[in-house]
Amino acid sequence: MSGQMETTLIPVLSPEEIAEIDAEISHVPYRSAVAIDALKIVQAHRGWVSDESLRAIARHLEMSAEELEGVATFYNLIFRRPVGDNVILLCNSISCWIKGCENLQAKITEQLGINLGETTPDNQFTLLPVTCLGACDKAPVMMVGDALHENVDAETLTKLFREGGE
């Protein structure tokens, strides 16, 4: 019974995910060396890394779930909880702070109704803080999905949210 239970409870990595992870493994001496890449690959496919996914990756890399969990939870851009379709990474580092990122955050909260770490009910946006996006000369900055937005102001936000993050 438990054997069957286990096989149905354990999600397998998709063939695409395995292929991408194995491609990374081919470049390194130990399977566990690709831990971060494997987490990123699965996150790219599934949006986040669930407990089940994490265990499946750990098994594939022949490491313990604890070892991989230590890596996964160390990086705040590996999402161990579900996120919305678009993740807003709002920089709160020094340049952006000088240039008023706190106001921006208040605006986002006002427009989307979410605080840091929260997701909109329609699952469109998740708001997270980030420490520096490497564009201090164009502060305040934020990322939405893969796109970097520079010199962000209230108008940028309104336009962006109207377009649904595109």
> CB of 29: closest distance to another protein in angstroms?
9
Residue 39 has a CB neighbour count (10 Å cut-off) of: 24
Q: Which is nearer to another protein, 5 or 155 (CB)?
A: 5
Q: Which is nearer to another protein, 76 or 123 (CB)?
A: 76
For residue 35, give both structure tokens. Answer: 């831990």
> CB of 72: closest distance to another protein in angstroms?
9
> CB of 164: closest distance to another protein in angstroms?
32
Radius of gyration of the chain (CA): 19
Strand ranges in 9-153 using DSSP code E only, listed in sequence order = 86-91, 125-130, 142-144, 147-149
The answer to whether 17 and 41 are in contact (CB under 8 A) is yes
Q: Residue numbers of the site for another protein (CB under 8 A)?
A: 1-3, 5, 9, 51, 54-55, 63-70, 73-76
Query: Helix (H, G, I), strand (E, B), or coil: what is residue 102?
Result: helix
Q: Which is nearer to another protein, 54 or 89 (CB)?
A: 54
> CB of 90: closest distance to another protein in angstroms?
18
The answer to whether 59 and 95 are in contact (CB under 8 A) is no
Q: Which is nearer to another protein, 69 or 118 (CB)?
A: 69
